[in-house]
Amino acid sequence: MTKALIIGGHGRVAQMATAQLVDAGVEVASLIRNPDHEADIRGLGAEVIVQDLTEVEDWSAILSGFDVVAWSAGNGGKAGAEGTLAIDRDGELAVISGLESMEKPPYYLTVSYLGWDRLDPEDDGSSWAAYVKAKKAVGKRLTGSHLNYTILAPARLTDEPAGAYDHVENSREAAEATTSRELVAQVLAEFAQAPAQSGTYAFIDA
């Protein structure tokens, strides 16, 4: 049985992906920060690891034993630019370092955004600029690593139901494109069960 760890497991995408993976027979563990959310995750059929990801000293110990690790954590602008860099950049880079230290690291999935490798907005101190900086740092680190990984690159997220979608080039202009959160969860669950060659997978609502 495939064993998957979802980091940032209480987010909307993560919870939908967890439910889909559990239904598919995958053994899922979910890393969350807030113990008050533990019942929500257990209700989805997943195990729970309560841990502040910014305070982990040895990621390899947490990641050991899993076939797939998926990053779906993020500051979401709640703590400003500084919090975004601490979680979305430094937190994820620490996970990648943990994977790189392992003899047989699991397959790694991370949720980024369409055009992560080209968009370079003005560094105005905003949470969005920090998010772009964080995802670019993570993407560059992964592309230079020996890990087997997929960077999922959706467009602007919506709460619409998942429907048909198009696989597009990551260089596509994203001004009018959208991707439903439910679709991101669906694609994440699909890749978790059938790992692909390393690279970026960009997709939008059809």
Give the closest residue to 65 by CA, choosing from 8, 4, 137. 4
Q: Mean per-residue pLDDT for 100-113?
A: 97
pLDDT of residue 35: 97
Mean pLDDT estimate for the chain: 94
Quick: pLDDT tens for 185-201. 999 999 999 999 999 99
At residue 89, the pLDDT reads 96
The model's pTM is: 0.95
Domain ranges of the chain: 3-205
For residue 55, pLDDT over 90 is answered with yes
Give every CB contact of residue 178 below 8 A, 6+ residues apart in sequence: 155, 156, 157, 158, 160, 204, 205
- The whole-number pLDDT of residue 75 equals 78
Using 50, 70 and 90 to split pLDDT, how confident is the model at 51? very high
What's the fold here for domain 3-205?
Answer: Rossmann fold (3.40.50)
3-state class of 127 per DSSP?
helix
